[in-house]
Structures are given as structure tokens and as C-alpha cells.
Amino acid sequence: MTLDDLTRTSGEWLRGAGPESDIVMCSRIRLARNLADFPFTNRASRNEKAGIESQVKSAVDAAGLDVAYFDVNGMNNLDRQFLVERQIISRELAGGEGPRGVAVTPKENISIMVNEEDHLRIQYMLSGFRLNEVWDEITALDDQLEDDIAYAYSSSLGYLTACPTNVGTGIRVGVMLHLPGIVANKQIDKVFRALQKINLAVRGLYGEGSQAFGDFYQISNQQTLGKSEEEIIKILTDVVPQVLQFERSARQDLVTGRRQHLHDQVSRAYGVLKTAQTISSEETMLLLSSVRMGINLGLIDDLSISTVNELFIQTQPAFLQKLRGSELGVEERNVARASYLRSRLANGRAVEDE
């Protein structure tokens, strides 16, 4: 598998399948791990980073996973950005230095970042609300890797990580939610505050920093010490349904209270996406968000959720440039984006694909 192959496929987590997938885009768990024998990445020399990379690569090989390893160090900026857009690597790994890379499966459900802030960042993602299933998979993978890697671990503090905010279980449990209803009724700040009170973090899924685009938000745990992985997962599996209920009733209010307005908004969004000649990334996100909600509410019936999910990724700058095979300026990207949207939505996969 090469990077270019990825422009022709899409990740399992975009399938729009699984429980609650009208609101829950995907479930993701990340484990932070380090090798006992080496300094953490930020203090490791070039040679040591190369040593860490080769040990991890051989452990991944031994685990018999069907993965491709991408050497991020030897990669150009466009390709790095492309992997960030696909949620395969973090911005931090893309912008780091020295030997580093990522092992990723063709379905993109597993990615193992090497020499990010920690030596290993093992990530498992599935579409829909399936945290327990994700946990079963990732802990088994962790066990396999441990056959060949001695992890930095202390019996009192657990898995030792470069930042003390990850020590203990090293686990980050996250659920990506599409919340256009709660955004529309301006209750999103209230939801944030309630979640922060129980030590859950909320952040935007796409775009720079913590700003949310397209009404996607990720809810995840912050604390990693003093609770078991199962207990941490349980907090999320208890709380997320309440947010889902909140979103559903917000959407219902929109439907009953402002049906005509809502239908108009959704149809216009779909219309613009199908016909625009030039369109920015921000506007695309906003319109796709409306269209996604419109499909879930039965206002659009000739487009599948998985196509819309894919378009969130495929209208990002690096994807468009890789598709064209050349670097594009902002204006050229806006034109390329509009053209790509027109072609995907004209002969876009119909609903029966799902």
C-alpha cells in the first residue's frame, strides 16, 4: 500500500455504520506507550530515535498485522498534511523532527505512530458508538506488541509517559459527535461546561487548534491515573447517550418548530455544494454539516451518509492537491474543491450503497 493508494480508498471510520451513527461519527481509543530502554522522544538523540523506530517496526512485523509503514521523516509537507487530514497522524508527528513514522492498516482503523510525544501512540478507530469493541481490539494489539517490546512501566504509576497528564493507563478514549442541533439551539456551551465538570474534554474535530468546523466535536477523558481502562470507558458510555438524547431533541425541535426553514436551509446547502464553481473549505464544512443532518432527518434521500463523511476529508487542501498531483494555491484549491464536489454529488453514491 502506498500513500497514493489512500486517495482511492476511505477509512472504515467514515462508513457511517454502527450504533448511533447518525450522530456518532466514530469511536477512538489511543494508548500511549514507551520503551523502557530509551529516553522519551523529546530527549532522545537521532540514533536513539532510529533505534526506537526499528524496534517498534520489528514488533509490528512480528505481530503479523497487515500494515504499511510510512516514514514521516523522509516525507514532503503535502504528504504529511494529507495524513493529518485523514486522522492517521497528529499535527505534532507531522511537525516533529528526526526518525519517526506511522504504521497503518489499509482500512485505516489501526494506526501506530512512532516517536510522537511518546515512542508509541497506538490508535484504533471504528465508525459508530462502539467503545467496548474498540477497547477489546486495541488491548489485544497492545498485548501482541508487548511480546517484543519492554514497556516503560512502574507498578505504582502504571505506563510511564513523557507528559504526566497521560501516565497510568496512557489511555485516551474519544467519541466524535456531529452536533448541528445543539449548535443551532446555542446550547453547546452549556454541554461543554457540564462535560468539563466531570473532567471530560471537548474539542473541535477539524480545522486549526480547538476551533470546530462542521459541528463535529470530540469528547474524551482527561484523567488517566487512578481509574481502570474499563472505568474510564464506562464514564464515556454513560455520558454520551445523554448528549445524544440532547442532540436528538434539539433536532426534533428544529423539525417541528421550523420545518420549512430547516428544509430550506438543507436544500440550499445541498444545492450550493452541487453547483458551486469555487468554494472555501470553511463554507464546505458548514454546508456538508447541514446536508448530513438533512439526510438523517429524511429531508434528502439521494445521498448516503458515508459519502458525506468522506467529503469532509476529501475536500481538505492536501487531499485535493494529491488528487491533482500538484501544489495548488488557495484560489485554485477553491475551484478544485467545487469541481470535486460537483462530480461526487452528481454521480455520488446513492443511498442504496449503505
Partner 1 sequence: MTCQRCQDEAVVHLTELVDGRRKETHLCVACARASGLSLPDAPPDFGLDAVLQDLIKKHVGELVGELAESTCPDCRLRYMDFRTGGRLGCPHDYQVFRKGLLPMLQRFHGATRHVGKRARARPGASLRLRLRSQLRQAVAREDYEEAARLRDQIRLKDQHA
Nearer to partner 1, 132 or 343 (CB): 132
Residues constituting the chain: 354
Residue 204 is labelled as binding a ligand = yes
Picking from 101, 74, 75, the residue whose alpha carbon sits closest to that of residue 88 is: 101
Residue 158 is labelled as binding a ligand = no
Residue 226 C-beta: closest distance to partner 1, Å:
2
Nearer to partner 1, 96 or 128 (CB): 96
List residues near partner 1 by CB under 8 A.
Answer: 34, 36-40, 42-43, 51, 55, 91, 117, 139, 142, 146, 150-160, 162-165, 167-169, 186, 189, 199, 201, 203, 209-210, 222-231
**Rounded distance, CA 41 to CA 296, Å?**
44
Residue 215 C-beta: closest distance to partner 1, Å:
15
Nearer to partner 1, 57 or 342 (CB): 57
CB atoms within 10 A of CB 57: 17
Nearer to partner 1, 231 or 354 (CB): 231
**Rounded distance, CA 189 to CA 259, Å?**
25
Residue 203 is labelled as binding a ligand = yes
Residue 183 C-beta: closest distance to partner 1, Å:
11
Residue 206 is labelled as binding a ligand = yes
Angle between helices 317-324 and 330-346 (to 10 degrees): 80
Residue 173 is labelled as binding a ligand = yes
Residue 241 C-beta: closest distance to partner 1, Å:
24
Residue 121 is labelled as binding a ligand = yes
All three cell numbers of 29, joined, read 481509543
Residue 84 C-beta: closest distance to partner 1, Å:
13
Nearer to partner 1, 4 or 230 (CB): 230
Strand segments, DSSP code E, in the chain are 24-33, 68-71, 101-104, 110-114, 120-127, 153-154, 158-159, 171-178, 200-204, 216-221
**Rounded distance, CA 16 to CA 354, Å?**
8
Residue 193 is labelled as binding a ligand = no
Report in angstroms the alpha-carbon separations of 237 from 30, 42, 187: 16, 34, 21
Residues comprising the binding site? 26-30, 121, 172-176, 203-208
Residues comprising the binding site for ATP? 26-30, 121, 172-176, 203-208
